[in-house]
Amino acid sequence: PKPLKFVVPNFNFHEYMSTKAKKINAALDDAVPLQNPIKIHESMRYSLLAGGKRVRPVLCLAACELVGGDEAMALPVACSIEMIHTMSLIHDDLPCMDNDDLRRGKPTNHKAFDEETAVLAGDALLSLAFEHVAAKTRDVVPHRVVQAIVELGSAVGSEGLVAGQVVDICSEGKSVGLDELEYIHVHKTSKLLEAAVVCGAIMGGGGGVEVERLRKYARCIGLLFQVVDDILDVTKTSEELGKTAGKDLASDKATYPRLMGLEKAKEFAGELVAKAVEELRHFDDLKAAPLYHLADYIAHRQN
């Protein structure tokens, strides 16, 4: 997609991301101390502190501040979201799922530890995510905390990430159309990004209309995230191989470029980013700067 015209000048996005990511990393480090039983906590920390981009928790803090909240009000739920994201990656990499050996350039959890520990580390992170938001959120009225917990639960369960994963698994080896591909991506990827933004706005004291506007923004960037992932899959592999056809064209996995062609997939990504930022026009430009730039970052990221 073309660069956004409305990215706010003089906003140092790189600095913004690294400042927020440092806070999130420190909070995650505190949330899972290395305690007995050592093995399980080591395994949880191995994946949780393994250097992800922290897109979801940053989105959460940005949404909280956009509606007038203080970052501290959303920090616990932002950590919970990263715990859930991490556990979904641990389980996704297991031999019974994708059977991957590497994640973020390091051995996957079950390779670094063992399969039993990886399953349990995922379970423990999922449980801790809900405990953490309920126990550690401060200065937010209880009904908002409950509302955020409901959002989280529905994003993760059999109508959320789990739904996306099960439909993805069932579609293996079958021909997948655009509608089914969108269903998989919306559930596997968008739902948690949506929960991140919506929970941030809820904790920050956002009104109903603001929260729903931000939900629409998040749905667009959630799908965008995956469309860009699919595009990168083709373009990066093409560059690496010095060929015109990328990895995904060789495999039988359905992706946007495969189903609609690379150019149309890029156009679709452009439409999604435009639709996302359209929702931000209702907010103050300066206050919305982080979310403008996050949309731009997701559209143009290289990994």
Instruction: List contacts with ligand GRG (CB under 6 A).
Output: 52-53, 55, 84, 88-89, 91-92, 97, 104, 126, 156, 161-162, 165, 188-189
Question: Which of 186, 155, 153 lies closest to 168, judged by CA?
Answer: 186
Q: Report the nearest approach of ligand GRG to the CB of residue 188 (Å).
A: 4
Q: Report the nearest approach of ligand GRG to the CB of residue 122 (Å).
A: 7
When the beta carbons of 126 and 133 are compared against ligand GRG, the nearer one is 126
When the beta carbons of 55 and 74 are compared against ligand GRG, the nearer one is 55
When the beta carbons of 167 and 260 are compared against ligand GRG, the nearer one is 167
Q: Report the nearest approach of ligand GRG to the CB of residue 25 (Å).
A: 12
SS3 per residue for the chain:
CCCCCCCCCCCCHHHHHHHHHHHHHHHHHHHCCCCCCHHHHHHHHHHHCCCCCCHHHHHHHHHHHHCCCCHHHHHHHHHHHHHHHHHHHHHHHCCCCCCCCEECCEECHHHHCCHHHHHHHHHHHHHHHHHHHHHHCCCCCHHHHHHHHHHHHHHHCCCCHHHHHHHHHHCCCCCCCHHHHHHHHHHHHHHHHHHHHHHHHHHCCCCHHHHHHHHHHHHHHHHHHHHHHHHHHHHHHHHHHCCCCCHHHHCCCCCHHHHHCHHHHHHHHHHHHHHHHHHHCCCCCCCCHHHHHHHHHHHHCCC
**Rounded to an integer, what is the distance from CA 250 to the centroid of its chain?**
27
When the beta carbons of 67 and 79 are compared against ligand GRG, the nearer one is 79
Q: Report the nearest approach of ligand GRG to the CB of residue 88 (Å).
A: 4
Q: Report the nearest approach of ligand GRG to the CB of residue 68 (Å).
A: 27
When the beta carbons of 192 and 202 are compared against ligand GRG, the nearer one is 192
When the beta carbons of 56 and 144 are compared against ligand GRG, the nearer one is 56
Q: How many CB atoms lie within 10 A of CB 263?
A: 9
When the beta carbons of 93 and 279 are compared against ligand GRG, the nearer one is 93
When the beta carbons of 140 and 234 are compared against ligand GRG, the nearer one is 234
Q: Report the nearest approach of ligand GRG to the CB of residue 112 (Å).
A: 15
Residue nearest to ligand GRG (CB): 52
Q: Report the nearest approach of ligand GRG to the CB of residue 279 (Å).
A: 21
Rg value, the chain, Cα: 19
Q: Report the nearest approach of ligand GRG to the CB of residue 56 (Å).
A: 7
Q: CA-to-CA distance for 156 and 191, rounded, in angstroms?
A: 8
